[in-house]
Amino acid sequence: MTLYKIIRENKFTLKLMLTYCLIIFLGLGLTSYLVTANMIEILSEMESRFDTEVIQKVKNYSDERYRDVKDIFARFYQKQYSNNNTSIVDFINPNKAAQRDNSYKAVAIAGYLQDTCSANTTITDLLLVDYIEQEIYFCSNMHNRDVSLDYDFFRYNFLGSGEVRNKIEIVPNYIPDYIGSSSANDFPVISYRIFLFDENAIRFDKPLGMAVINMRADFFKIAYRDSSRFKGDIYVLNQAGLTLFDSSGSITGTPFPFAAYGADSLDTLETNHQNIVNMRFSEETGFVFVDIVDKRIIEKETDGIRTIINKIIAVCVALTMAIGFISASLLAKRIKSLVRKMKDVQSGKLDTRLDVKATDEIGYLERSLNTMCDKLSAYIKNVYVFEIKTKTAELQALQAQIDPHFLFNTLESIRTTAQLNKDTQTAKMVHLLGNLFRWNIRTRGIAVDLKQEIDYVRAYIELQKLRYDNAFDLRVHIENNALKLGVLKLTLQPIVENAIQHGMGEKASGGLITIHGWVSEGRLRLQVSDNGKGMDAQKVREVIAGLSRNQEDSAAGSVGLSNVHQRCCILFGSQYGLSVTSTVAVGTQVDLSLPVMCKEEMEQYVQGAHR
């Protein structure tokens, strides 16, 4: 079998497979693109939130250590019962007796420094300089760490700016040159320095001494040592832009390289297309905490995710194509069988039947084909009988057309006989009745012009006036633009008949029936009123209720009204139809509303889909 023949005989399978492949590749390809495209943003946002928490931890930890330092410096002024209610500052104050008791002074200060270092393991060194006695007191949490004995500690600027203030000064990270050469001194520290004054001093220009607390410059990393997922670099800067701490250890102690991150100062350092930046500022220490994550690190993570997604997509495509090919082949086989049977039916084999084994859509088509063949066979068998019945119906229709003409001709014969016998009233009544039959014969269809309907009502009134000895009269006031509009045939006559029978029955003379017609708000308004005996409110409610009931259930005397109302509602909708108002001894008014259409439009409307 050639390739062309295979393609020609399996068009459906090939189209279905191509559709499958297109949907799969487009859907999964678009999914892969969207996932990988949004993955960086999602991971960046997650990393930013995580790093925000980390940098906040570092700031909080730094602020806590700063508050510890403030507490230690404050306790230098606190009276201690263990030192006979004497503070450390009292020991270096010449105005205090404790300063002069050198036998206890050194022990008390050394004990306080030792206790303080033991209670605060983050402290590296604690140094007290006594300017009065030219003494140095030193304690460290590091083994074999000591100060150099020949170092000049007694100048105010031996550490920091040298400006004398009663305020903590933070000295950026440096390697202390006052630590002895034999001591471990290969790491930078951050120093917190404060001058000590007489507790009753008014002016702060002559300090009694100086207290210094050293902490390792990298003590900040303790705050995030449990954050193993942390990918960024943390920097602690002072407000001058000096790097006090760098988690990578590459720029500690140097000015921060703002240009490398697309900025020129702290004010312009922010997240951009290459880096995620989070910053926190400490009001207590003045430190600026900066966290920077290179987005390329996140992109490398997405490469692995992208590879996994692509592998999953490849497996899904292979499975889907295999399943799709099997499904398409089975489906195509059933469709081919259905097509062959349909061709048999097309050639005239109406006894063709399919063995239906499934309840799916193709099974429904197979059952439908079997049903169609059965019905088609039955139709062909019955068509001859149907034609015979049709011809019989045509003959009956012709016969039905003869009957009204026969009745009309008979009435004309009766009228002629009455005139010969000089019975003019009977002749006139028969003539009017004949005109009514002639109107019924001539007006075909369900709709007539309003003018034709009025003419019919006039003829009907003339006939009834003869019956009631001219006890009433008719007045018609119709706007010219309404006379050519269409109305349902025999719409006004039942209303007028109802007015005569139930309104004028007791009047011997002076009765008046008035018909008004006009167009308003897109509707044809017709109003039939009389000056008869009228109805009370209870009777009006019964008549209105009877308009929507079946004719057999309608109140006596309202069958004609019910017929008119229900025809209007059925054909045009419930917004059209009759309404009735009446007053006892005044009369009754019936209002009718119809859509504005000419006779031809109304015929098409009621015979179309709307009906």
CB 289 within 8 A of CB 279: yes
* Residue 251 sits in the same domain as residue 291: yes
Q: Look at residue 436 and tell me if it is in a domain.
A: no
Domain that holds residue 282: 222-296
Domain count, the chain: 3
List 233's β-bridge partners, or say none: 292
More confident residue, 265 or 97: 265
* Residue 131 sits in the same domain as residue 229: no
| Residues near 336 by beta carbon (within 8 Å), at least 6 away in sequence | 12
* Residue 65 sits in the same domain as residue 180: yes
Among 338, 357, 388, give the residue marking a domain's end.
338
Amino acid sitting at position 329? S
C-alpha dist (Å) from residue 389 to 323, 377, 380: 58, 19, 15
Cα dihedral sign for 342, 348, 349, 353? positive
Among 239, 267, 296, give the residue marking a domain's end.
296
* Residue 563 sits in the same domain as residue 496: yes
* Residue 598 sits in the same domain as residue 520: yes
The pLDDT value recorded for residue 464 is: 84
CATH number at residue 280: 3.30.450.20
Say if residue 173's pLDDT is above 70: yes
* Residue 177 sits in the same domain as residue 231: no
Q: Look at residue 516 and tell me if it is in a domain.
A: yes
Q: Look at residue 387 and tell me if it is in a domain.
A: no
Percentage of residues in the chain having pLDDT higher than 70: 76
CATH number at residue 527: 3.30.565.10
* Residue 54 sits in the same domain as residue 123: yes
* Residue 137 sits in the same domain as residue 269: no
Q: Look at residue 531 and tell me if it is in a domain.
A: yes
* Residue 106 sits in the same domain as residue 227: no
Q: Look at residue 309 and tell me if it is in a domain.
A: yes
Among 237, 271, 296, give the residue marking a domain's end.
296
Percentage of residues in the chain having pLDDT higher than 90: 21
Band (pLDDT 50/70/90 cuts) for residue 403 is: very low
Region class of 595: left (phi > 0), else alpha (psi between -120 and 50), else beta? beta
Q: Look at residue 80 and tell me if it is in a domain.
A: yes
How many CA atoms, within 13 angstroms, populate the side-chain half-sphere of residue 40? Answer: 16
Q: Per residue in 24-54, pLDDT tens?
A: 767 766 776 676 666 666 666 776 777 788 8
Band (pLDDT 50/70/90 cuts) for residue 192 is: very high
Strands 472-478 and 447-449: unpaired
* Residue 478 sits in the same domain as residue 529: yes
* Residue 227 sits in the same domain as residue 287: yes
Q: Structure pTM?
A: 0.48
Q: Per residue in 418-440, pLDDT tens?
A: 666 666 667 666 666 666 666 66
User: Which H or E element spans position 190?
Assistant: strand 189-196
Q: Look at residue 343 and tell me if it is in a domain.
A: no
More confident residue, 536 or 301: 536
Q: Look at residue 330 and tell me if it is in a domain.
A: yes
* Residue 21 sits in the same domain as residue 41: yes
**Token pair in block for residue 144:** 């074999």
